[in-house]
Amino acid sequence: MTQVVDAPFARQFLQRLHGAANTHDADGVASLCSDNVVWEDPAAPQTLHGRDAVLRFHRDIMFPALPDTHIELIDGPYLALDGTGVAARLRISGTMTGPLTPPGFAPTGGRLSFETAEFSQFEDGLLARHTVVLNMLDLARQIGAVPQAGSVVDHIGVWMQHVSAFWARARRA
Q: What is the mean pLDDT of residues 90-105?
A: 88
Q: Is the CA virtual torsion 136, 138, 144, 146 positive or negative?
A: positive
In 83-93, which positions are buried (b, 16+ CB within 10 angstroms) versus exposed (e)?
Answer: ebbbbbbbebe
- Please tell me the CATH code under which domain 7-142 is placed: 3.10.450.50
Q: Where are the domains of the chain?
A: 7-142, 147-173
Query: Which pLDDT score is estimated for 114?
Result: 93
Provide the H-helix boundaries in 123-151. 136-142
pLDDT tens, 123-158?
999 999 999 999 888 988 888 888 888 889 888 888
Q: Within 10 Å of residue 130's Cβ, how many Cβ atoms? A: 21
Q: Is 21 helix (H, G, I), strand (E, B) or coil?
A: helix
Query: Which pLDDT score is estimated for 137?
Result: 87
What is the reported pTM? 0.86
Q: Is 137 helix (H, G, I), strand (E, B) or coil?
A: helix
Give the span between the Cα atoms of 23 and 67, in whole angstroms.
10
